[in-house]
Structure 1
Amino acid sequence: MEEIVTQQLLVHVPDEKKEVLASFIMGLFNLYEDLYFTYLEINPLVVTKDGVHVLDMAAKIDSAAEYICKPKWGDVEFPPPFGREDYPEEAYIADLDSKSGASLKLTVLNPSGCIWTMVAGGGASVVYRFCGARILV
């Protein structure tokens, strides 16, 4: 596989750096997959004949993979979805979840909306509620 990386991606890289860079790319790709990254940016990157030096990096991981990767990630605290604070109801359910062996989750998408998700058994169901006409004064 490193041969393919070297032949197809590293065409313009000096020969003395190709082997170390191809090895780095393969290792980085394997890490990316193994830890369920959704985004990874390295800029700048310094390559010498002896190694690769990452000077700055930004990365995101997929919170949906927490059940798979928690032992590898350690204690990662994810921000609230969509960059907002929890509603009091969500915080209450999260507190119950932390004290229970059951899996209890609640995300309020739109507090005055007409579509709700309802967890039933092993899958999610959707509940639609007729809202009727609203008059705004």
Structure 2
Amino acid sequence: MVAVNEKLSEDQVTERLLTHVPEDKKQVLASFIVGLFNLYEDLYFTYLEINPIVVTKDGVYVLDMAAKIDATADYICKTKWGDVEFPPPFGREAYPEEAYIADLDAKSGASLKLTLLNPQGRIWTMVAGGGASVVYRYTNL
């Protein structure tokens, strides 16, 4: 467990996590874990899986990795992430209305999102947040 705003140290990792790791690999693995944890926080990852991983006394080798970043942190991490394009939800192409809102979002410091769940539907819901979420509903009856 790492508390919010607490920094992870190599000593903590070695003492609490690496109790069954051979002595000659503990230092290099602890250093890797602390660096990975710091990167995870700094780049706003929401998920990270490494499998398999190879650890030698000289280094750590990631053979395969899957990761997800938090799209809502785009305004914070854009310079660190580079040019990242997030796919539309549900594995489909964005509707023109969604693309328009995404374009506005890219040009704004605000967080603007729109997902059309049923484009033929009569009720549209828009969730807006910022600590206190607000839901707007348009009904065309």
With the length of structure 1 as denominator, give the TM-score of the two structures.
0.77
- The residue type equivalent to 2:72 in the other structure is A
Identity %: 67
Question: What SS class does the counterpart of residue 19 from structure 2 fall into?
Answer: coil
In structure 2, what is the Cα distance between the partners aligned to 1:39 and 1:99?
A: 23
**106-115 or 47-56, which deviates more:** 106-115
In structure 2, what is the Cα distance between the partners aligned to 1:102 and 1:46?
A: 41
Residue 30 (str. 1) matches residue 71 (str. 2): no
1:126 pairs, out of 112, 135, 140, with: 135
With the length of structure 2 as denominator, give the TM-score of the two structures.
0.75
Structural RMSD (CA): 2.8
Tell me how far 1:54 sits from its aligned partner. Answer: 0.7
Q: Where does 1:75-90 land on structure 2 (aligned, <5 Å)?
A: 75-90=83-98
- Structure 1, unaligned stretches of length 5 or more? 133-137
- The residue type equivalent to 1:28 in the other structure is L
In structure 2, what is the Cα distance between the partners aligned to 1:18 and 1:130?
A: 60
- Give the paired residue count: 128
Tell me how far 1:88 sits from its aligned partner. Answer: 2.6
- Structure 2, unaligned stretches of length 5 or more? 1-8
Residue 72 (str. 1) matches residue 83 (str. 2): no
